[in-house]
Amino acid sequence: MSDSGGPDVTQELRLPWDDDPDDLYEHAPCGYLTTLPDGTIVKVNQTFLVWTGYTRAELVGHRRFRDLLGSGGQIYHETHYAPLLRMQDEVHEMAFEVVCADNTTLPTLVNSVLSRGPAKEPRAIRTTVFNATERRSYENELLHARRRAEESERRVQVLQEIVADLAAAPTEAEVAEAVVRAPEPAFGAASSSIYLVDVERDLIVAVSSTDPTTGNWDDMPRSSPRAVARVADRGDLHVVGSVAEAREHFPDLVDNMRKSGRNTVVLLPLTTGGSDERVGTETLGVLAFSFTGERKLGDNELRVVRLLGQQAGQALDRARLYDDARRREERTTFLGETTRTLDELHRLLPRARRLVDRVVPEIADWALLQLSIGGGIHEESGGPAPDLGLLEPAEQRAIRASVPVFPAAGDPLGCVVLPLTARGRVLGTLSMRMAPDRRGAAAERAFLIDLADRAGMALENARLYEQERETARTLQRSLLAADLPSGDSRFAVETHYQAAGQDLEVGGDWFDAFMINKDRLAIAVGDVVGRGIDAATTMGQLRSAIRALAGDGVGPARLLEALDRFVDRVETARMATVAYAEVDLVTGELVYACAGHLPPLFQAPVGIPEFLLQARSAPLGSRAGDLRRTEQRQPLPAGSRLLLYTDGLIERRTRPIDKGFEVLAREFARRRDAPLPGLTAALADLLVGRDHADDVCLLCLSLGSEERIERSLGADRMQIAQLRSELRGWLVAHGIEADCRDAVLLACSEAVANAIEHGYRDDPFGMIDVVGTVTADAVEVRVTDRGTWRGAVTDVARGRGLQLIRESMDQVLFDRTDGTTVIMRRSRGDL
Amino acid sequence: MTDQWVSFSRFGDAQLVSLTGEIDLANAGEIGKTIVDRLNDGGKVLIDLTTVSFLDSAGVRLLDALVGDLLMHGTRTRLVVGERGAARMTLQLCAFREDVLTTDLERAAAELK
């Protein structure tokens, strides 16, 4: 063995014992191989043979070194070892697994040297083989440890993400969503599901799953024998390692594990406290996740799983508190809003309707309000309605006992029935069907009872309001209904009272008309400050005071002075306004005065209407205003109309007041020929309409409806129009139909024209007398002149006039005893 | 001044005379003069009486003369008097020519087409 090229140093260090070089070769602590350049083994030592189990004869001359390698090793040998050796003449520490005789593998490290001949041609390869078994397993261990560390890191990372998600999840549902996604990335689970504990309902409810085809999704009572309920009860992690284990402990899991091909199930309680403080921890839910194949979880993993359970539990706890707080806040806001919006409506029916509309759909999908007050109220909203056969007994129960009826879980009634009470009296019931997650909870009950209290109070107040309003209306009606003078043909009075829009109390407007003596009529319209019963009562007192104070020789000014003294004693009447007038029915003279009241509107038989703006002074008992009471006289010719009214007729938010006066005057004039009955109502309708915010009171006096009208006019064609106008007013006042009226006006006009053109053809100062009378069935007009009559036939044009008189009247007579009198008569009906 | 009773305008290709208020012995003559002064010969004339609230025999005399004069000059004409009312009544009572009476402007204009 003198292959070594270098100096033989060992010769200098002779060992104290004789070491046989052959033995050293054969039993060296490493294997030796010598091969030809093609790898054929030509020499091998004993150590190598012992390690590999081959015999020398099997190897030498028969096998190449590469033949002893596994297939991967052979490729490595060809691609790395051989080229490297040829290039460098040596290779170091190449790792090969040598396939032993018994087919086991021996991890080795190989060093080789290529020796060359004189011509540098390869001659032999010398190889040492070191046993690397120990080293390999160490390496493996290192590798394994690194992988474990990486897995753990990944798990921690996944968990960190989940914890971050949990912290950001504000609601229970969102926490559940975050938790249920954890086990797959963290532990390689196949699927997971989350169950939450509902303490109020004593149930465990499945809320979410990554694979809803697995598992049983029915709600279960907390006392259920099912695995989830048991684990929730114990509050400790449970790993079901195999189907066999499941069969033993939790048979309910077996079917599902089989069906979905799961072999390992982890049931993790989600708890509020840390792992070491068992006392006081509460299980809020259970996370169940499962693996295909039996999966052993290491201690490390189990620690992390428990940690996840705690993190999730705390997040749930926080979300629950947050949910509760938010719901409480919502409820408080709802109650406040409800009280406020109910207060906006005063009357019972609208208020009842609004309550039902508030409740549906905000907190219930169906609601029914039944009240025994206000003539019975039934307001319903939403649907579908529950079984009436069940509802009615529940309502009776709630009313009798005056306690709410909360249905138990599974009760077919399915709605709460709240008795509404106020001042110790049950007004009725409010029944509601709430969304499922809203029923039953204790906090919810407290909320509903609060709602019922508020609703009861609001409805009772509306009932009281309604009652007072009704009383005030009745009082007002009875006062206004007092007898007004009628049956005197010299005048007619028409009145109208219109209450303010639905939601307002009665006002203090009033009207009155009475006879001071047989020829003197008094009329008044006034307005007391304020609303409701007080205003109605005051109005009654003031009205009586006027009747008592008016008298012969008193007159409007002195009457107002007396009223000023009256309001010093009746304080509620202070600042009331009054328009007061007296009419002498013989002379047709009006005397009027206004104490802070709007001016009367006067319509003469001819011309446009005018507001009577004289004799104005301050409201009754005014402390700052002008209390010098004066009165104004004004002739009222036959056919005149006088309108007294309160400010509700004129004042509208959408219209300036002067515009109101203008419209009133125009409309009053337009109805000059309209019959008196219905006139005041029509005016109120037109000027005020439906959206009136104030009471309206009108009184219209019509004068000159005497049986007989007598007029004298000069022989002046320009005066015919004036006559027609007065005659028209008189006919209207008698309710003569339009056709008849037009016919009489035409005939009369023609007769007067005849008198002017013929009778007084030569006498411009002649006078014509016209007398009209009306009876129950006919109108008669006489037109008299004292001129000369020459016979109409001489004038074709006048002939047409006579023809018109004959055509338009039923009877026409000519009396020529003293001048000419044309007597015309027409039946009041149709011709 | 007759402005308060009579006004002039056009309705399509016709001259329109609108009368309003009470027409009687007192104003008929003057109204007649105003109308005659304003109307041109030939073409079409519509006389609207729908807002006349009173018409006496003097008014009828005016309309009678006016229509006769217009027709004689080859001016086609119609009186618009409405279904009811004082003017219609008077015209009917004195048997005015029905063929020149119509109930509304549109129809009157159509009849003159």
What pLDDT is stored for residue A831 in this prediction?
42
What pLDDT is stored for residue A1 in this prediction?
45
What's the mean pLDDT in A192-201? Answer: 84
What pLDDT is stored for residue A170 in this prediction?
77
Over residues A755-766, the pLDDT tens digits come to: 888 888 878 788
What pLDDT is stored for residue A617 in this prediction?
93
Q: Which residues of B touch A748 (CB under 8 A)?
A: none
Of B26, B61, B85, the CB nearest to A721: B26
Alpha helices of A224-298 — where are they, by DSSP H?
227-234, 243-249, 251-260
Instruction: For A717, name the nearest residue in chain B, comparing CA atoms only.
Output: B26
How many Cβ atoms are within 10 Å of A104's Cβ, its own excluded?
11
Which residues, at least 6 apart from A345, have a Cβ–Cβ distance to it below 8 Å? A351, A354, A462, A503
Inspect the interface and report whether the beta carbons of B25 and A797 lie closer than 8 Å: no
Over residues A129-180, the pLDDT tens digits come to: 998 888 878 888 888 888 888 877 887 787 788 878 887 777 888 888 888 8
How does residue A2 score in pLDDT terms, banded at 50, 70 and 90?
Answer: very low
In whole angstroms, give the CA distance from residue A761 to residue A764.
Answer: 7
Mean pLDDT, chain B, whole residue set: 89
How far CA A760 is from CA of A755, A756, A763, in Å, comes to 6, 5, 5
| Residue found under tokens 């001129």 | A787
φ/ψ bin of A60: left (φ > 0), alpha (ψ from -120 to 50), beta (otherwise): beta
Instruction: For B84, name the nearest residue in chain A, comparing CA atoms only.
Output: A739
**Which of A220, A197, A200, A196 lies closest to A208 in space, CA to CA?**
A196
Over residues B42-101, the pLDDT tens digits come to: 689 999 999 999 999 999 999 999 998 888 888 889 999 988 888 999 998 888 888 889
Alpha helices of A109-226 — where are they, by DSSP H?
133-168, 172-180, 183-187
| Residue found under tokens 């602590």 | A29
How many Cβ atoms are within 10 Å of A358's Cβ, its own excluded?
20
More confident residue, A794 or A571: A571
| Residue B54 CA, distance from chain mean position | 13
| Residue A352 CA, distance from chain mean position | 17
Inspect the interface and report whether the beta carbons of B54 and A724 lie closer than 8 Å: yes
Chain A residue set in contact with B, beta carbons under 8 Å: 717-718, 720-721, 724, 739, 742-743, 745-746, 749-750, 753, 756-757, 797-798, 800-801, 803-804, 807-808
Q: Is the dihedral of CA A594, A600, A604, A608 positive or negative?
A: positive
How does residue A594 score in pLDDT terms, banded at 50, 70 and 90?
Answer: very high
What pLDDT is stored for residue A158 in this prediction?
79
In whole angstroms, give the CA distance from residue A272 to residue A283.
Answer: 7
What's the mean pLDDT in A467-481? Answer: 75
Inspect the interface and report whether the beta carbons of B94 and A753 lie closer than 8 Å: no
Identity of the amino acid at A466: E
| Residue B37 CA, distance from chain mean position | 15
Q: Hey, of A720, A758, A808, A830, which one would you mutate to test binding to chain B, going by the most B CBs within 10 A of its CB?
A: A720
What pLDDT is stored for residue A660 in this prediction?
87
From the CA of B113, how many Å to the nearest CA of chain A?
Answer: 33
ipTM summary value: 0.90
Question: Which of A12-21, A132-141, A737-746, A753-762 comes out lowest in average pLDDT?
Answer: A12-21
Cβ contact A822:A780 at 8 Å: no
Q: Is beta strand A203-209 parallel, antiparallel or unpaired with respect to A220-221?
A: antiparallel
From the CA of A751, how many Å to the nearest CA of chain B?
Answer: 11
What pLDDT is stored for residue A20 in this prediction?
79
Element (H, E) at A571: none
Q: Is the pLDDT of residue A537 over 80?
A: yes
Of B25, B56, B61, the CB nearest to A746: B56
Mean pLDDT, chain A, whole residue set: 84
DSSP A168-179: H--SHHHHHHHH
What's the mean pLDDT in A605-632? Answer: 89
Q: Which residues of B touch A721 (CB under 8 A)?
A: 22, 24, 26
Q: Which residues of B touch A801 (CB under 8 A)?
A: 56-57
Q: Is the pLDDT of residue A440 over 50?
A: no
What pLDDT is stored for residue A705 in this prediction?
58
Question: Which of A683-697, A780-794, B35-49, B56-70 comes out lowest in average pLDDT?
Answer: A780-794
From the CA of B80, how many Å to the nearest CA of chain A?
Answer: 19
In whole angstroms, give the CA distance from residue A506 to residue A476.
Answer: 8
Please, what are the domains in chain A? 9-131 (3.30.450.20), 146-325 (3.30.450.40), 345-466 (3.30.450.40), 482-703 (3.60.40.10), 708-827 (3.30.565.10)
What pLDDT is stored for residue A277 in this prediction?
52
What pLDDT is stored for residue A691 in this prediction?
63
Q: Which residues of B touch A670 (CB under 8 A)?
A: none
Instruction: For A746, name the nearest residue in chain B, comparing CA atoms only.
Output: B56
Q: Does the N-terminal peptide bond of residue A656 adopt cis geometry, omega within 30 degrees of 0? A: no
Q: Which residues of B touch A798 (CB under 8 A)?
A: 57
Q: Which residues of A touch B89 (CB under 8 A)?
A: 739, 742-743, 746, 808
Architecture category of domain B6-111 in CATH: 2-Layer Sandwich (3.30)
Inspect the interface and report whether the beta carbons of A808 and B93 lie closer than 8 Å: yes
Instruction: For B91, name the nearest residue in chain A, comparing CA atoms only.
Output: A804
What's the mean pLDDT in A300-307? Answer: 83
Inspect the interface and report whether the beta carbons of B86 and A797 lie closer than 8 Å: no
What's the mean pLDDT in A787-791? Answer: 67
Inspect the interface and report whether the beta carbons of B25 and A720 lie closer than 8 Å: yes
Cβ contact A728:A518 at 8 Å: no
Q: Which residues of A touch B90 (CB under 8 A)?
A: 746, 804
In whole angstroms, give the CA distance from residue B35 to residue B44.
Answer: 14
The size of the A-B interface in CB pairs under 8 A is 62
Can you read off the two tokens belonging to residue A241? 């390692």
From the CA of B87, how many Å to the nearest CA of chain A?
Answer: 10
Cβ contact A222:A197 at 8 Å: yes
Q: Is the pLDDT of residue A85 over 80?
A: yes
From the CA of A772, how many Å to the nearest CA of chain B?
Answer: 19
Inspect the interface and report whether the beta carbons of B89 and A742 lie closer than 8 Å: yes
Q: Which residues of A touch B86 (CB under 8 A)?
A: 742, 745-746
Q: Is beta strand B76-80 parallel, antiparallel or unpaired with respect to B101-102?
A: parallel
Q: Which residues of A touch B94 (CB under 8 A)?
A: 800, 803-804, 807
What's the mean pLDDT in A742-755? Answer: 92
Instruction: For A715, name the nearest residue in chain B, comparing CA atoms only.
Output: B26
Inspect the interface and report whether the beta carbons of A804 and B54 lie closer than 8 Å: no
φ/ψ bin of A498: left (φ > 0), alpha (ψ from -120 to 50), beta (otherwise): beta
What pLDDT is stored for residue A438 in this prediction?
44
Q: Is beta strand A616-617 parallel, antiparallel or unpaired with respect to A589-595?
A: parallel
What's the mean pLDDT in A392-421? Answer: 85
How far CA A14 is from CA of A6, A10, A19, A419, in Å, comes to 17, 6, 9, 118
Over residues A447-471, the pLDDT tens digits come to: 888 888 888 888 888 888 888 777 7
Q: Is the pLDDT of residue A546 over 90?
A: yes
Q: Hey, of B22, B25, B62, B88, which one would you mutate to test binding to chain A, going by the most A CBs within 10 A of its CB?
A: B25
Instruction: For B25, name the nearest residue in chain A, comparing CA atoms only.
Output: A717
| Residue found under tokens 């428990």 | A306
A160: exposed, middle or buried (Cβ count in 10 Å: 0-12, 13-18, 19+):
exposed
In whole angstroms, give the CA distance from residue A673 to residue A217.
Answer: 85
Q: Is the pLDDT of residue A11 over 60?
A: no
Over residues A256-275, the pLDDT tens digits come to: 888 888 889 999 998 886 54
How does residue A777 score in pLDDT terms, banded at 50, 70 and 90?
Answer: confident
Of A739, A745, A797, the CB nearest to B61: A797
Q: What is the pTM of this model?
A: 0.44
How does residue A513 score in pLDDT terms, banded at 50, 70 and 90?
Answer: very high
Cβ contact A543:A558 at 8 Å: no
More confident residue, A534 or A370: A370
Q: Which residues of B touch A718 (CB under 8 A)?
A: 26
Inspect the interface and report whether the beta carbons of A750 and B22 lie closer than 8 Å: no
Q: Does the N-terminal peptide bond of residue A269 adopt cis geometry, omega within 30 degrees of 0? A: no
Identity of the amino acid at A250: F
From the CA of B89, how many Å to the nearest CA of chain A?
Answer: 8
Percent above pLDDT 70 for chain A: 91
Can you read off the two tokens belonging to residue A586? 């013989």
Cβ contact A214:A193 at 8 Å: yes
Identity of the amino acid at A386: P
In whole angstroms, give the CA distance from residue B91 to residue B52.
Answer: 12
From the CA of B110, how many Å to the nearest CA of chain A?
Answer: 30
What's the mean pLDDT in A351-378? Answer: 86
Chain B residue set in contact with A, beta carbons under 8 Å: 22, 24-26, 54, 56-58, 60-61, 85-86, 89-90, 93-94
Instruction: For A797, name the nearest residue in chain B, comparing CA atoms only.
Output: B61
From the CA of B85, how many Å to the nearest CA of chain A?
Answer: 8
Inspect the interface and report whether the beta carbons of B25 and A745 lie closer than 8 Å: no
**Which of A78, A83, A129 lies closest to A107 in space, CA to CA?**
A129
More confident residue, A297 or A440: A297
Question: Which of A89-103, A435-449, B6-20 comes out lowest in average pLDDT?
Answer: A435-449
How far CA A819 is from CA of A398, A755, A768, A795, A810, in Å, comes to 96, 10, 10, 19, 23
Instruction: For A753, name the nearest residue in chain B, comparing CA atoms only.
Output: B25
Inspect the interface and report whether the beta carbons of B86 and A721 lie closer than 8 Å: no
Q: Hey, of A728, A783, A800, which one would you mutate to test binding to chain B, going by the most B CBs within 10 A of its CB?
A: A800
What pLDDT is stored for residue A439 in this prediction?
39
Q: Which residues of A touch B85 (CB under 8 A)?
A: 742
How does residue A13 score in pLDDT terms, banded at 50, 70 and 90?
Answer: low
In whole angstroms, give the CA distance from residue A356 to residue A358.
Answer: 5
Q: Is the pLDDT of residue A751 over 60?
A: yes
What's the mean pLDDT in A7-15? Answer: 57
Inspect the interface and report whether the beta carbons of A801 and B57 lie closer than 8 Å: yes
Inspect the interface and report whether the beta carbons of A800 and B90 lie closer than 8 Å: no
Instruction: For B94, name the nearest residue in chain A, comparing CA atoms only.
Output: A804
Identity of the amino acid at A759: G
| Residue found under tokens 């002074």 | A617
Q: Is the pLDDT of residue A206 over 90?
A: no
Residue A615, SS3? coil
Q: Which residues of A touch B54 (CB under 8 A)?
A: 724, 742, 745-746, 749
Can you read off the two tokens belonging to residue A394? 């529940």
